[in-house]
Amino acid sequence: MKELRRKDRAIAEEEAMALLNKAEYGVLSTVDESGQPYGVPLNYCVIGHCLYFHSTVEGHKIDNIRKNLLVSFCVVGNTELLADQFGTKYESVIVSGKVEEVFDTNKQIGLEGLLHKYSAEFFDKGIKYIESLREKTRVFKISINTLTGKAR
Amino acid sequence: MKELRRKDRAIAEEEAMALLNKAEYGVLSTVDESGQPYGVPLNYCVIGHCLYFHSTVEGHKIDNIRKNLLVSFCVVGNTELLADQFGTKYESVIVSGKVEEVFDTNKQIGLEGLLHKYSAEFFDKGIKYIESLREKTRVFKISINTLTGKAR
């Protein structure tokens, strides 16, 4: 990850982690063997210094990940159009890292983390839901290599 | 681009274009020589079957584009968390295509398209702003190869 061209737009890692923790979704960027990138929106959760997401057993992003574990993950927070200044005020975080599939205990940790974030008030029902879909769901963990926050 | 695994989530190309036209920003995914993807949020506009965006003269995405013209562009519309169903209702469009820098008349067309979309009420002032920053701004065009709409 290149150094930020505009240092004045850099926000501290702590703020970047805060945005990463609270954002509703992010866009995962992967790439296929031909060099074609693919960006797709995902729900996710943060546990420690890692991001977790789940998916069904097959799909485009999984095909890409199988060949190349390098990914980028982008979340955008508040945006405010400044029409008279020909710009947009926004806050964003861009993560680069390696993704790996997780199993067993780590798979459960990831799924419960997603439940905590998105369905905390239905946690018990969610635990049963997880059990019923366990074989139809895969869980992936992104280990954060770089974390770049930007605010303009 | 693979065929959508869940046909029931496919939305017609017309709806996808409508979302692409109205969304405030999208995430551009590019990839560097080492195979590391990079997703970054951008303002953009749609003209014909192409997307236009502008940037300053240097930066990470420009370094990537210089080596590999293949990009992905993702916009997300309305999202609604369905906590009790352990899912999120969302609408999104994913574009794949090739990017190229444009100059002269096409550069002006792109910049004016961005003004129309984001700063229509300050158009005359914007035209002067464009002129003053012309040498400090680059404009890129993504020719849409595939357009995939998803709604769940």
Higher pLDDT among residues A133 and B20, named by residue: B20
**pLDDT at position B25:** 96
Angle, helix B104-118 to helix B123-133, in steps of 10 degrees: 140
H helix or E strand, kind and range, residue A19:
helix A13-22
- The predicted complex's ipTM stands at 0.91
The DSSP bridge partners found for residue B141 are: B52, B100
A29 vs A40: CA distance, rounded Å? 7
Structure-block tokens of residue A104: 């067993």
pLDDT at residue A78, as a whole number: 87
Task: Please name the residue of chain A whose CA is at the shortest distance from the CA of residue B60.
Answer: A2
Q: What three-state secondary structure class fits A95?
A: strand
Q: What is the pTM of this model?
A: 0.91
Q: Calculate the CA B85 to chain-centre distance.
A: 31
- Single out the residue of B82, B53, B60 nearest to residue B140, CA to CA: B53
Alpha helices in chain B (DSSP H): 13-22, 60-67, 104-118, 123-133
Residue B3, pLDDT above cutoff 60: no
Shortest Cα distance, chain A CAs vs residue B138, angstroms: 15
pLDDT for B5 beyond 60: no
- Domain extents in chain B: 7-151
* Chain A, nearest residue to B128 by Cα: A86
Q: Which carries the bigger pLDDT value, residue B34 or residue B80?
A: B34
Q: For position B150, what pLDDT does the model report? A: 82
User: Residues near B102 by Cβ (< 8 Å), separated by ≥ 6?
Assistant: B52, B109, B110, B139, B140, B141
Report the chain A residue with the minimal C-alpha distance to residue B80. Answer: A24
Q: Crossing angle of helices A104-118/A123-133, nearest 10°? A: 140
Under a CB-based contact definition with an 8 Å cutoff, are residues A149 and A11 in contact? yes
Section A24-30 average pLDDT: 97
Q: pLDDT band at residue B32, thresholds of 50, 70 and 90? A: very high
- Cβ within 8 Å, pair A88-B40: no
Residue A47: pLDDT band with limits 50, 70, 90: very high
Q: Which residues of B touch A29 (CB under 8 A)?
A: 27, 29, 31, 37-39, 72
CA distance B152 to chain A (A): 12
The residue ranking higher by pLDDT, A9 or B21, is: B21
Q: How far is Cα B84 from Cα A137, in angstroms, rounded to an integer?
A: 18
Distance between CA atoms of residues A78 and A63, nearest Å = 32
Distance from CA of A47 to the nearest CA of B (A): 19
Flag whether pLDDT at A1 surpasses 50.
no
A129 contacts in chain B (CB < 8 Å): 86
Please count the residue pairs, one from chain A and one from chain B, whose beta carbons lie less than 8 angstroms apart. 142
DSSP strand pairing (A45-47 vs A87-102): unpaired
Binned at pLDDT 50, 70 and 90, residue A124 comes out as: very high
Q: Which residue has the higher pLDDT, B53 or B135?
A: B53
Contact between chains at A119 and B28 (C-beta distance less than 8 A): no
**Residue A112 reports pLDDT greater than 90:** yes
Residue B147 has pLDDT above 70, yes or no: yes
The CATH superfamily assigned to B7-151 is Electron Transport, Fmn-binding Protein; Chain A (2.30.110.10)
Radius of gyration of chain A from Cα atoms? 17
Across the range A85-95, mean pLDDT stands at 89
- State the average pLDDT over residues A122-137: 92
**What pLDDT does B89 receive?**
83
Residue A140 phi, psi dihedral angles, 5° rounding: -125, 150
